[in-house]
Amino acid sequence: MQTPIDNPMVQKALFFCCFFLTTSLALLAQEASQLENVRVLLDGGNKYTQSGIVTLKIEAAGARQMMVSRSPNLDGAEWKEFQSDYGQINLGNDEGEKKVYVKLKDKYGNVTAPIEATITLDRTPPKNPKIAINAEGGFVNNPERLVSLELQAEEAKYMMISNVSTFKDARWQIYRTALPNWKLEPGDGLRKVFVKFRDEAGNESAVASAEIFVDAVPPVDPRIIINGDQKFTTDINGKVSLAIFARGANDMKVSEKSDFSDAEWQPYKTTMEWKFDSQKQGVRTIYVKFRDQAQNESSVASDDIILDNMPPEDCSVVINGGAKYAEDPDKFVELKLSAKGALFMMISNHLNFVGARWEPFRETVKWKLTGENGEKTVYVRFKDEYGNETGIVKASIILAI
């Protein structure tokens, strides 16, 4: 009995169907193979971004057209000529996971399924940054200045630690909650440790810090300088300025007494004003000493200055021994001058001392009067070595020639 498959016409039809199917499948396989090494990268392939606008790059060998959308169904998207560097794409401002969908078409019209690229928008830095310094007794006295640190921050991935607020030369390291054997800055006094944290998106936390006192030796290099190291002062009120220094100081005592019997401890500062008893002339000395937070006291430093704010005293001028008349035809007279402590003098026939100059003090001076006959007055001022000037001293005589 002959079956339908034995029929020559059926066999011929089956042959052509199989040939056509095989050829079509081969062509489809050839066409599908045109898209290779497909990758969609947001922000260069980063997992996180802090910006709502990122770059989109599409890698696909053989792609001719592309369709890009934020919608998984690519609603409203249109086919465009394929460009590997798509440019920027707006992800919006809300934080969280963001997705972009891409379809590609090759030269044969084959279209890929939607290709998904994911990135997380994160602008929130690690929260509640904290640091604590652990040391027995609440201060550090070991020569190596080693302490252990406790660290904490929510959602932190990395941390940076430094002894200075600028974090100079510090590097990011993997976040951990404890760090033993941290070395503090050299020297005594209050020492700080600073830390900041960073998440995977690169967001940095606020800086947290902790402080602890290091005490091994008393304050060193104590110094005091009065009025910029001037040798004397003529301030009428006896006021001077002090420049003060000591490494590791927390408090200080300042006094004119070497035993500091009249002084109290006060916070350390590098400058201050001081007032001498302006009536006590001569060499004046100020003493200073320092202590740290552990009550270690430094050696005593001091500085001297001469206080002289008094002008020459007992000043007088006498013309021709006190005579009533001057009768020299050339108008010369003899002046007898007296001024305790004077080093210079200025003499003039005019009250405003026009044209007069300071000259070394002398007790006797030959002086020429000016003008016609009549009463003449000679004016004199005196000055000591520190520049203190007297008021005007004067004497009169009648010129009669």
Residues sharing a CB contact under 8 Å with residue 186, sequence separation 6 or more, in sequence order: 145
Q: How confident is the model at residue 218 (pLDDT cuts 50, 70, 90)?
A: confident
Q: How confident is the model at residue 111 (pLDDT cuts 50, 70, 90)?
A: very high
**How confident is the model at residue 248, as a pLDDT?**
87
Q: How confident is the model at residue 187 (pLDDT cuts 50, 70, 90)?
A: confident
pLDDT digit string, tens, across residues 81-108: 999 999 999 999 999 999 999 999 999 9
**How confident is the model at residue 139, as a pLDDT?**
78
pLDDT digit string, tens, across residues 227-269: 999 999 999 899 999 999 999 899 999 999 999 999 999 999 9
Residues sharing a CB contact under 8 Å with residue 308, sequence separation 6 or more, in sequence order: 232, 233, 234, 281, 282, 384, 386, 388
Contact, 27 vs 100, CB < 8 A?
no
Beta bridge partners of 172: none
Structural domains in the chain plus CATH codes? 36-121 (2.60.40.2470), 127-214 (2.60.40.10), 220-307 (2.60.40.10), 313-399 (2.60.40.2550)
For the ranges 87-96, 212-221, 313-322, the lowest mean pLDDT is seen at: 212-221
pLDDT digit string, tens, across residues 3-48: 555 555 545 544 444 444 444 444 444 444 468 889 999 999 999 9
**How confident is the model at residue 29, as a pLDDT?**
42
pLDDT digit string, tens, across residues 276-317: 998 889 999 999 999 987 777 899 999 999 999 999 999 999
Q: How far is CA 94 from CA 40, 49, 56, 91, 100, in A?
A: 22, 12, 19, 8, 15
Query: Per residue in 352-389, is it b (16+ CB within 10 Å) or e — as a string?
Result: eeeebeeeebeeebebebeeeeeebebbbbbbbebebb
Structure tokens at 300: 């005593």
143: number of Cβ within 10 Å: 7
**How confident is the model at residue 95, as a pLDDT?**
93
